[in-house]
Chains A and B, each alone.
Chain A
Amino acid sequence: MEGENEVKLHGMWASTYSKRVELALRVKGIPYEYIEEDLRNKSPLLLQYNSVYKKVPVLVHNGKPITESYIILEYIDETWQNGPRLLPQDPYQRAQIRFWASFIQQQLFGSFYKLISSNGEEQEKAVEEVFEKMNVLEKGMKELLPEGVPEVDGNNSGVLDILVTATFGPYKAHEEVFGLKVLDPEKYPLLFSWVQKLNEIPLVKGVLPPHDKLVALLQFIKQNDLKPSS
């Protein structure tokens, strides 16, 4: 249909959820206006667009807001049919990808959160849990990609590439601040090599948060015992 195709993204530079959407827009080659939100002082527009959760990211397409990063990814894939497909056509493969997206979100992020918000014995348990979930993810990805990680570039990235990048891309900053090697190349060789490949792509380099700036923010959050939130 003709007419304007105005795309805006309300995001936050350090938010992994926000990064997912930026990566998707760039992979698809969709021009967009980016609005940086100060999460301590959210814009009235953001609160209006996402009145239920009041969070970033929010994609606004021709004035209509779409929220929840994974839902935004599927929306982008379905609305802009030119360019690489973020999700495969086959319903069974789509179900598998949705399964892993949900696992990363609920299981993995859930245990990361426990890790950074607990102390002492509880934290030790949380560490164990993180390693268990990473194991499950590594195994799952091995089964999903029996020939190993395909060569990725900015033109053929899919939803899993985007999720892996947004989650693990800044792993060095996470290690530096939290003193824990989560993305261990010996324990999780497939995930590790996948992240290395993705981090080399110029498109990814252009999107991921700058290392030093991210370290400073994470240190601040850690020292002030704040809860990360979008």
Chain B
Amino acid sequence: MGEVNLHGEWSSPFSYRVIWALKLKAIEFEYIEEDLSNKSPLLLQYNPIYKKIPVLVHGGKPISESMIILEYIEETWPKNPLLLPSDSFERAMARFWIKFSEEKGPTIWKIFVTSGEEQEKVKNESLEILRTIEEKGLGEKKFFGGENIDLLDLAFGWMPYWLGVIEEILGLKLLEADKFPRLHAWIKNFKQVSIIKDNPPDRDRMLIHFSSLREKLLH
């Protein structure tokens, strides 16, 4: 079917989504770590418009944009396991929440790159976003995908790891356990899934890396 390569970056939640999807489907792939301050000519050739990671290359054909890559993986290697609902309405619901995660994620990231009054404002917006996800997105389910994780859980994969890193560096707690019990339970369950457990991002390295990023941003 063709060789699979993934151009990614060690600290990127977008990169990790693809790694997790490929591993869940037991797809063999070669991983190429990109230095974002010195992008490879191949990356620039494969993603000339955005020049970003991740890029999946299958049989020499590049696909960019992480959620588009995930849908491509799901369609090219269907089942084993199924990563989107088979019912078209449920699938539309999953895509709705994937889009929500994509659109609202940047707001939460803004907490990391702001301070003072602006940060306070973004923090409040973020709490609302998390409230919506908790109540309307996840609801009573174990995973966003139901009994097992699916693409939607991967789309929210920034929450179990990256949000915690931001909270620790900034010394603030956004996702308090008593205020967001369902999301807390989900995070615990997500991290227990064997593929995720066996392929976590490097938290310690991220703490150092993002700390110094925060320093630079504030000066």
B49 lies within 8 A of A64 (CB): no
The size of the chain A interface, using a CB distance under 8 A, is: 23
Q: Does B72 contact A (CB under 8 A)?
A: yes
Q: Which A56-86 residues have C-beta < 8 A from chain B?
A: 61, 64, 66-68, 71-72, 74-75, 78-79
B65 lies within 8 A of A99 (CB): yes
Q: B65 touches which one: A75, A102, A140 (CB < 8 A)?
A: A102
Task: Give the chain A neighbours of B92 by CB distance below 8 A.
Answer: 66, 71-72, 74-75
Q: Does A51 contact B (CB under 8 A)?
A: yes
Task: Give the chain A neighbours of B65 by CB distance below 8 A.
Answer: 98-99, 102
- A103 vs B48: C-alpha distance when bound (angstroms): 13
Q: Does A136 contact B (CB under 8 A)?
A: yes
Q: With A52-B136, A66-B89 known to touch, is A99 a contact of B64 (CB < 8 Å)?
A: yes
B79-94 interface code vs A (CB 8 A; 1 in, 0 out): 0000000001101100
The size of the chain B interface, using a CB distance under 8 A, is: 22
B100 lies within 8 A of A94 (CB): no
Task: Give the chain A neighbours of B75 by CB distance below 8 A.
Answer: 91, 94
B89 lies within 8 A of A61 (CB): yes
Q: A68 touches which one: B89, B91, B96 (CB < 8 A)?
A: B96
A94 lies within 8 A of B96 (CB): no
B88 lies within 8 A of A78 (CB): yes
Q: Which residue of B lies closest to A133 (CB)?
A: B49
A68 lies within 8 A of B95 (CB): yes
- A71 vs B92: C-alpha distance when bound (angstroms): 6
A51 lies within 8 A of B61 (CB): no
- A204 vs B104: C-alpha distance when bound (angstroms): 34
Q: Does B134 contact A (CB under 8 A)?
A: no
Q: B95 touches which one: A71, A79, A140 (CB < 8 A)?
A: A71
B63 lies within 8 A of A64 (CB): no
Task: Give the chain A neighbours of B95 by CB distance below 8 A.
Answer: 68, 71, 74
Q: Which residue of B lies closest to A80 (CB)?
A: B88
Q: Which B69-83 residues have C-beta < 8 A from chain A?
A: 69, 71-72, 75-76
- Chain A proximity of B36: nearest CB distance (Å): 20
Task: Give the chain A neighbours of B132 by CB distance below 8 A.
Answer: 52
- Chain B proximity of A108: nearest CB distance (Å): 12
- A80 vs B13: C-alpha distance when bound (angstroms): 35
Task: Give the chain A neighbours of B121 by CB distance below 8 A.
Answer: none
A102 lies within 8 A of B88 (CB): no
Q: Does A95 contact B (CB under 8 A)?
A: yes
A92 lies within 8 A of B61 (CB): yes
B178-189 interface code vs A (CB 8 A; 1 in, 0 out): 000000000000
Task: Give the chain A neighbours of B49 by CB distance below 8 A.
Answer: 103, 136, 140
- Chain B proximity of A122: nearest CB distance (Å): 20
A99 lies within 8 A of B68 (CB): yes
Q: Which residue of B lies closest to A50 (CB)?
A: B96
Q: Does B99 contact A (CB under 8 A)?
A: yes
B88 lies within 8 A of A92 (CB): no
- A92 vs B91: C-alpha distance when bound (angstroms): 19
B76 lies within 8 A of A91 (CB): yes
The 8 A-B residue pairs with the shortest CB-CB distance in the complex, in nearest-first order: A91-B75, A75-B92, A78-B88, A95-B72, A91-B76, A66-B92, A71-B95, A95-B63
Given contacts A64-B89, A91-B75, A91-B76, 6 further A-B contacts (CB under 8 A): A51-B136, A61-B89, A66-B92, A75-B89, A94-B71, A98-B71
